Amino acid sequence: MRLDTMLKLGVNIDHVATLREARYRGRNVGEPDPVAAALICEAAGAHGITAHLREDRRHIQDRDVWSLREKIRTRLNLEMANSPEILAIALKLKPDIVCLVPERRQEVTTEGGLDVAGNTVALTETRKRLSDAGIEVSLFIAPDAAQVEASAKVGAQFIELHTGAFAEHFDQERDRIRELDRLVAAANQAHGLGLKVNAGHGLNYRNLPTLHRVPHLVELNIGHSIISRAITTGLATAVKEMLAAMEGYR
Ligand code: PXP
């Protein structure tokens, strides 16, 4: 399969930092090191690394994102809230792509994605500042027609479809089919509007084969299931097994 049409894997390494902070919060030291983990993921075939620099710095710290920027050789996807403080960091850091995500309750739609339709002015302003700095922009949204349409209006290059509801309802057939249909419809709509489509949240080794039915996917951002499996199999094996589960997507 040609590399540019292959479904890509971005590994979210936040959970590695969560484990470190559980023991070393407030100190500039400690294990496990999310940057070392990122390098193992890259060596195992991951196409990118995702890290969320939260306003409350609950897991990833500023030093982590600077070290990632310096050391990783694939793409750095910085997840962040649309906040002035984090935006200023992003503009200096220059990740390859920023994914804007909700952090506070009032920014969250009922399905848990960013309320792009209700915040088009502010999001367009941020999108322009990131575009001017040469950084691509993705918006993390629920598979909802109004949010997809608003994302195109904002001028983002990518959306990331929130797969949380699909993952949550995976074991209830009727709900699973409904959530899958919503993802398929949103992906088709986004593609038609010229948006590139990523997906993430709650994806795991079990629900991934079903996700293959969603068209136009460019990249999946996966964290929890890979880091969890790594505890028993090791990180390189966990990444390789996820890539194998993604194989055959067209
Ligand atoms: N994509 C986005 C935008 C996220 O916020 C997260 C969770 O931090 C993920 C993907 C990864 O989700 P998970 O850890 O459930 O794989």
pLDDT > 90? residue 107: no
Mutate to test the pocket of ligand 1, among 55, 201, 228 (most ligand atoms within 8 A of CB): 201
Distance CA 74, CA 48 (A): 5
Domains, the chain, ordered by start: 3-246 (3.20.20.70)
Side-chain-side CA neighbours of residue 146 (13 Å): 10
Segment 71-80 shows an average pLDDT of: 98
Segment 49-70 shows an average pLDDT of: 97
Using the mean position of ligand 1's atoms as its centre, give its distance from the Cα of residue 29 in Å: 25
More confident residue, 108 or 179: 179
Using the mean position of ligand 1's atoms as its centre, give its distance from the Cα of residue 140 in Å: 10
Please name the residue whose Cα sits nearest to atom 3 of ligand 1. 140
Please name the residue whose Cα sits nearest to atom 4 of ligand 1. 201
Distance CA 177, CA 42 (A): 33
pTM of the model: 0.96
Per the CB < 8 A criterion, the answer to whether 250 and 216 are in contact is no
Segment 59-77 shows an average pLDDT of: 98
Mean pLDDT estimate for the chain? 95
Query: Which residues surround ligand 1 with Cβ inside 6 Å?
Result: 12, 14, 52, 79, 99, 101, 140, 160, 200-203, 221-225
pLDDT > 80? residue 104: no
Of ligand 1's listed atoms, the one at least distance from the Cα of 99 is 3
- 15 included as an active-site residue: no
- 216 included as an active-site residue: no
Using the mean position of ligand 1's atoms as its centre, give its distance from the Cα of residue 52 in Å: 9
At residue 109, the pLDDT reads 63
pLDDT digits (tens, 9 = 90+) for 224-247: 999 999 999 999 999 999 999 999
Of ligand 1's listed atoms, the one at least distance from the Cα of 140 is 3
pLDDT > 50? residue 97: yes
pLDDT > 70? residue 111: no
Please name the residue whose Cα sits nearest to atom 6 of ligand 1. 201
Please name the residue whose Cα sits nearest to atom 7 of ligand 1. 201
- 162 included as an active-site residue: no
Number of other residues whose CB lies within 10 A of the CB of residue 89: 16
pLDDT digits (tens, 9 = 90+) for 9-24: 999 999 999 999 999 9
Segment 208-234 shows an average pLDDT of: 98
Using the mean position of ligand 1's atoms as its centre, give its distance from the Cα of residue 121 in Å: 25
More confident residue, 131 or 111: 131
Specify the amino acid at residue 48: G
At residue 250, the pLDDT reads 85
Task: Please report the DSSP string for 51-83 in residue order.
Answer: EE--TT-SS--HHHHHHHHHH-SSEEEEEE-S-
